[in-house]
Amino acid sequence: MAMTKREQVFSGLAVVFAMTVLYFFAAPSCRMCEASPSGRKAPNFALEENGHQMHLADFRGKVVLLDFWASWCEPCAEEAPSLNALQYRIEPKGGVVLGISQDYETSAYQRFLSVQRVNFPTFLDATSTSPGLGKVAYSYGTVQLPEAYLISRDGLIALKVVGPQNWMRPDLTSAIDRMLQSN
């Protein structure tokens, strides 16, 4: 049975529509297409908490693991113990884990710090909004949590890590150790 011209056009449009939908679900995400920030100067920023102002530049000369997180992010809570362990491991060697919370409720932020027993310097980005990220995270190109940036002693981004990690994994500790050993 032959199709009418109208049926042929409709079938063609249906096929194009189906292929378009399939493309958007199968195509690599934008995250995979973005340029690596490695080698770029880490954007400086200022945050204040309890009257204490902190700038990223205050950590120049240290290897910094800059971690963006939030209390409402379950994977952030899952990786918190390994970040605590990493801080303990790298602090004597001239390294620091530096957390930037994307919480918009101070009480949730404080509760997370207490429950997770966070032992590394952490600041609340007061520009964070429900359910968004703050200005510091956006300046780094962060779009999901957790996300971390390994920053060399001279302030250059060496590595961007997307998603929750076990920061005590040998490949990660090895990469951090190499940076800690370099001048």
Q: Going residue by residue through the chain (183 aa), what tens digit of pLDDT does each one get?
A: 677 877 776 666 666 555 544 444 444 333 433 456 778 999 999 998 878 889 999 999 999 999 999 999 999 999 999 999 999 999 999 999 999 999 989 999 999 999 999 999 999 998 877 667 899 999 999 989 999 999 999 999 999 999 999 999 999 999 999 999 986
Give the pLDDT score at 23.
Answer: 45
Give the pLDDT score at 183.
Answer: 66
* Whole-structure pTM value: 0.79
Give the pLDDT score at 14.
Answer: 61
Give the pLDDT score at 181.
Answer: 93
- Architecture of the CATH domain 34-181: 3-Layer(aba) Sandwich (3.40)
Would you call 136 exposed, middle or buried from its count of C-beta atoms within 10 A (0-12, 13-18, 19+)?
buried
